[in-house]
Structures are given as C-alpha cells and as structure tokens.
Amino acid sequence: MLNNKQLRLFISLSTLFLCSLTASLHGVANPEKQQFPNTLTLQAHMTPPTATIADVSWMAGYWQGEKWGGQTEEIWSAPLAGSMMASFKFANNQQVKFYELLTLFEQDGSLVLRLKHFSADLTGWEEKDQFMEFKLVKLGDNEVFFEGYTYRLVSPDELHVFVVIDDKGTKTETKFVFKRKTN
C-alpha cells in the first residue's frame, strides 16, 4: 500500500510521462510550429521534408512590389544544377537602401534557402563567411515554407512572400506582395 507522499509522487511522475508522450506524439503528427499566421518553424527533433528544386521552379521570374514606402524587386533564376538564385532590392526616393542575394539549393534530399544582406555600397551586413539559412519546413501546391520564410504563388502573376523579421528581439511577420514583370 502506498502512503500519501508516495501516491503524490506516483501521480506527478505519471502526469509528467503522459505530458511528454502527448508532446512527442503531437510533434510526429505536426512537424511545424506556427507562431505567426503564414510562417512556420521546424521543431528541433524533426527533419526537413523531401523536396527537389523542380518543386519550386514556379518561383522563377522578375517580381516587383511596394513596401515601406518604396519599391521592391526580387528576381529568381530558373533551376540549374539543383539550385536557383535571386537578388532582392529595396529602393526609396530613387535611392537603393539595401540588397539581398539568395540561393535556394538541394541538400540532403531537401531544400535550403540562404540569404546575405548588403548596403547600397555592397558592404555586407553579415560577416564575410556568414549568411542566414532557412531550412525547408513544408512544401505545398505553389507554396513553400522555410523556417520563418514563406513563398506563395497566389496567381501566375502574383507572388506573396512572408518573412519573420527580428528587430532587436521583437519578431514580426512582414508580407511582401510582388507582381510579375514582363517585358
């Protein structure tokens, strides 16, 4: 027969076990954690889903939009050698404020997005050998979710990009709307 102290300890340990089991099962059923409405985060114990560069070939093109009172453009190359590359530019009052160079490539059976920022004079924001990296979380029809970075083709000529921006510890989800530019 258990005394009251042993019974409380047993109940506490049983509750802890059930909570851990529930959390583990939840992680298996739902690999991504959602902090914002349009971006996801891969849980630490999960592996990125299988994907190839052909799965995101719909991103290729010349895209323009407006944000923060200025103009934006993002130009994605067609897939080549298991990768795509892009440049992003933000200009305001007819002056470039910053650039980004992006690569999207196949790695270990999945996709990885890398990004590097530059000032208007091409001074790097990140250190020389540093970059931001976003692992694939989920792939859908005409949408791809990287950690904190989502691309969604809403029509053949409109691309929405959602980015989680960290400003001194305060994270916000920012939406960019791009229209395809054709010559």
Q: What is the mean pLDDT of the chain?
A: 84
DSSP annotation of 38 reads S
Identify the pLDDT of residue 134: 93
Q: Which superfamily, per CATH, for 41-180?
A: Calycin beta-barrel core domain (2.40.128.20)
State if pTM tops 0.85: no
Contacts of 80 (CB under 8 A, 6+ apart): none
Q: How many Å is the Cα radius of gyration of the chain?
A: 21
Contact 66, 72 (CB under 8 A): yes
Per-residue pLDDT reduced to its tens digit, 132-169: 999 999 999 999 999 999 999 999 999 999 999 888 88
Q: What percent of the chain has pLDDT over 70?
A: 82
Per-residue pLDDT reduced to its tens digit, 80-133: 999 999 999 999 999 999 999 999 999 999 999 999 999 999 999 999 899 999
